[in-house]
A = this chain, B = another copy of it.
């Protein structure tokens, strides 16, 4: 397929070289970690959610990440204004539909966002992306429910990618990423990542940084997902037996030390 570990490491390297400004309209639970992982890989985070400045901040940024983790009416309009501005000037938009399927407000909002703007990448767990594919499953918190695992992530990713003309990344034990034409699977990561809040949000933030430096959004999403997966593996090796607090910090440490060589050596991807 011509898509190799080098394709991913090149994206991460370009993030460090270009240091893109990534505008995040995100939740207040994991926002600090999102900013810190962006800095860890060499990007520059900016968080701004007031309608009075959102679009203006998007206009000076190289990517926009919309995360509905602590959705509220005040910021929905900011998300729309920023998304429209991004579309207008060619800034890529990453959508993290946190908890889609869990409440009517989230469901309505995600669909509204997708109606009012074009997004380049959607990243979520199987439960959230299934909702977008029109398959409604109960979600449990922000993690994929047990029952959803039986669904076929490949089908769901392809379906959402086709429906919205974007790249869809379904993250889980195995990550599935599709742009409708090509579908990749990434086998990196560690189950301990699900014991720290916001590792999904952080992956979406990293996807923003990667989407800022390449127009190949499949590669961008795959690079971000692989980077987080490898960081999880390295963190488990260094801090897994200490506890989830140290593991959390070790994930950020690992992201800040990721090298092209390390990514090429550890990334495990195949075509679905």
A interface residues with partner B (beta carbon < 8 Å): 21, 27-33, 35-36, 39-40, 44-50, 52-53, 56-57, 60, 69-74, 99, 102-106, 138, 140-143, 194-198, 242-246, 248-257
Given A36-B196, A40-B195, A46-B142: 4 more A-B contacts, CB < 8 Å: A28-B31, A48-B71, A53-B104, A245-B252
Closest to A251 in B: B245
Q: Are A140 and B44 in contact (CB under 8 A)?
A: yes
User: Could you say which of B244, B249, B251, B253 contacts A39, with CB atoms under 8 Å apart?
Assistant: B244
Q: Are A57 and B102 in contact (CB under 8 A)?
A: yes
Given A29-B35, A39-B195, A40-B245, residue A102 in contact with residue B46 (CB < 8 A): yes
Question: What residues on B are CB-neighbors of A49 within 8 Å?
Answer: 70, 72
Residue of A33, A60, A141 contacting most chain B CB atoms (<10 Å) = A141
Q: Are A252 and B248 in contact (CB under 8 A)?
A: yes
Q: Please name 28 pairs of A and B residues whose Cβ atoms are closer than 8 Å in the assembled complex, sorted by A.
A: A21-B140, A29-B31, A36-B196, A36-B244, A39-B196, A40-B243, A45-B141, A46-B141, A46-B142, A47-B70, A48-B71, A48-B99, A50-B105, A52-B73, A52-B103, A53-B71, A53-B103, A56-B103, A56-B104, A57-B102, A72-B74, A74-B74, A244-B252, A245-B249, A245-B252, A245-B256, A246-B249, A246-B253
How many copies are assembled?
3
Closest to A42 in B: B195
Q: Are A44 and B195 in contact (CB under 8 A)?
A: no
Q: Are B245 and A36 in contact (CB under 8 A)?
A: yes
Question: What residues on B are CB-neighbors of A245 within 8 Å?
Answer: 36, 40, 248-253, 256
Complex CA–CA separation, A251 to B248 (angstroms): 13
Shortest Cβ distance from A195 into chain B, in angstroms? 5
Closest to A250 in B: B245
Shortest Cβ distance from A238 into chain B, in angstroms? 9
Complex CA–CA separation, A271 to B12 (angstroms): 43
Complex CA–CA separation, A139 to B3 (angstroms): 36
Complex CA–CA separation, A78 to B32 (angstroms): 23
Complex CA–CA separation, A257 to B140 (angstroms): 23
Cβ-closest 3 pairs across A and B: A243-B253, A245-B252, A44-B141
